[in-house]
Homo-oligomer: A and B are copies of this chain.
Amino acid sequence: MFAGLANTSVQAGNPLNAEESDPKRLDWMTGFPPPPEKLIMQPESDFFSFPKLRWTVCHIRELMPTKLVSRGIGPSVPLEYEIDDGIDAVTFKPMGGGKPMTWKESLSANYTDGILIIHKGRVVYEKFFGCLDEMGKHAAMSMTKSITGLLAEILVVEGRLDDTVKVSSIIPELKDSAFGSATVRQVMDMTTALDYSEDYSDPKADIWVYSKAASPLPKPRGYEGPNGYFEYLQTVKQDGVHGEAFGYRTINTDALGWIISRVTGKDLAHLLSERIWSRMGTEQDGYMTVDAKGTPFAGGGLSAGLRDLGRLGLLMLNCGKINGQRLFPKEVMENIRAGGDKKAFAKAGYKTLKGGSYRSMWWLFHNNHGAFAARGVHGQTIYVDPTAEMVIVRFASFPTAKNAQIDPTSLPAYQAVAKYLMKE
């Protein structure tokens, strides 16, 4: 599954900049047929390598099976616009030094594909670049986790999911795995202790076994490993004591997806449509990638439109209300915004997220604005700043996966825009 391979896109040397690597400029998949050097095809080690990934992030469904996240068939509720041309000139200092940069410059530095700023309920900034336009969808990558976490938190508040019980009491199949002895909350906050390596340079690393299991393509002849997320999760062993340290592992979200489906009787794409996507005036359907047995990829499979993730951000900002309708109790947001275990989080050593925490698969900055975010590799984010009444959504295709390289020119930029908007 492509998320697992995200780090293989790291290139030696200096990659092309945003303009040089613009997928339109590089003519990917153009012509009938496209010339061989312009084709983007399976396998994922090719289609998710930079600069090809800058095309792929908008075309996931053309490369693998997917499941609809339906918006329904009713009318959408248009966002209100009040564009503020002053934002481009907002200046900020990148983290860790470096010379001041304007907001506009930061978009290109971060290989932005789509950026939306909503302030006090109105869109004040919206731009599309690269492969994306207003009718396009973009891979949300690990922002999917936050949506899975939101659904779980809703179920907890509704009393349909007890986050204090052991996972094995809900999913007996996970009894002998590391997840079995963890609580639902530990899975939701990723404080499980898992014997799971994401060392991409080690061909025996667990990530490769996981990737093979998760692939939606038919298994090669003679393959005897696990098939699908559910089978893989049963093989994961414990390493250490649950609850002591934050360990960012996608498989926690896959386990949470399983828990949610077992509790509700609905697959994640269906539940997301029913509870959120069909009820927030959404403009476009979304979709999720699936494994070979049709299980949606809870940890990273969503693709969606920029504005629709803006609607999701508004829903979070307004504690469960959008377009005058309440979709979930405000306690859901209180629980998430209270944050996770800061000490457990600190052990993970995120340099750009000091003092933060992780709760129900959302990232809490614990800054003086109470900001929190959904985040995904290569620069995806929904950044919610309650104090500034601001939501920023960014889709991007940064050459390298890790957000630690994008944060220095993103997080201070968000804070600078928040300050700018609050002064108006």
A32 touches B290 (CB 8 A): no
Interface size on A, residues (CB 8 A): 44
Shortest Cβ gap from A303 to chain B (Å): 10
Q: Decide yes or no whether A228 CB sits under 8 A from chain B.
A: yes
A218 and B43 in contact, given A32-B262, A66-B61 (Cβ under 8 angstroms): yes
- Residues from chain B with a CB closer than 8 A to the CB of A39 are 293
> Which of A67-75, A88-96, A315-323, A363-371 sits within the interface?
A67-75
A61 & B70 in contact (Cβ 8 Å cutoff):
no
Whether A134 is near chain B, meaning CB under 8 Å from some CB there, is yes
Q: A75 contacts B75, CB within 8 Å?
A: yes
Q: Are A72 and B261 in contact (CB under 8 A)?
A: no
Q: Using Cβ atoms and an 8 Å threshold, which residues of chain B touch A293?
A: 33-34, 39, 41
Instruction: With CB as the reference atom, state the residue of chain B lying closest to A264.
Output: B32
Hey, what's the 0/1 contact readout for A248-259 against B, CB within 8 Å counting as 1?
A: 000000000010
Cβ of A163 < 8 Å from any Cβ of B? no
Q: Report whether B294 and A62 are in contact in the complex, using a CB–CB cutoff of 8 Å.
A: yes
A64 at the interface (CB under 8 A from B): yes
A285 CB contact (under 8 Å) in B62, B261, B285? B285
Q: A63: CB under 8 A from chain B? A: yes
Contact, CB under 8 Å: B61 / A63: no
B230 to A73, Cβ gap below 8 A? no
Taking CB atoms, residues of chain B closer than 8 Å to A63 are 65
Q: Does A292 belong to the interface (CB within 8 Å)?
A: yes
Answer yes or no: A283 CB below 8 A from chain B CBs: yes
Q: Does A169 contact B (CB under 8 A)?
A: no
- Complex Cα–Cα for A65 and B61 (A): 6
A285 surroundings in chain B (CB, below 8 A):
285
Of A40, A135, A283, chain B has the most CB atoms within 10 Å of the CB of A135
A72 neighbours in B (Cβ, 8 Å) = 135
- Asked if A62 contacts B62 (CB within 8 A), the reply is no
From residue 270 to 302 of chain A, which have CB atoms closer than 8 A to chain B? Answer: 283-285, 287, 290, 292-295
Contact B73 A42 (CB under 8 A): no
Asked if A76 is an interface residue, CB under 8 A from chain B, the answer is: yes
Please, how many angstroms separate the alpha-carbon atoms of A252 and B184 in the complex?
56
Question: A416 at interface (Cβ–Cβ under 8 A)?
Answer: no
Determine if A267 is an interface residue (Cβ-Cβ < 8 Å): yes
Is residue A217 contacting chain B, with contact meaning CB distance below 8 A? yes
With an 8 A cutoff between CB atoms, is A3 at the interface?
Answer: no
The reply to whether A230 and B62 form a contact with Cβ atoms under 8 Å apart is no
* A29 at the B interface (CB under 8 A): yes
Are A73 and B284 closer than 8 Å at their CB atoms?
Answer: yes
B residues less than 8 Å from A137 (CB atoms): 68
Q: How far is the CA of A63 from the CA of B293 in the complex (A)?
A: 9
CB-CB under 8 A from A75, the residues of chain B are 75-76
Q: Nearest-CB distance from A18 to chain B (Å)?
A: 24
The 3 residue pairs across chains A and B that have the minimum distance between CB atoms:
A32-B261, A42-B218, A33-B230
19 contacts between A and B (CB under 8 A): A29-B294, A32-B230, A32-B261, A32-B267, A33-B228, A33-B231, A33-B295, A34-B293, A39-B293, A41-B294, A61-B66, A61-B67, A61-B68, A62-B66, A62-B294, A64-B65, A70-B135, A73-B134, A75-B76
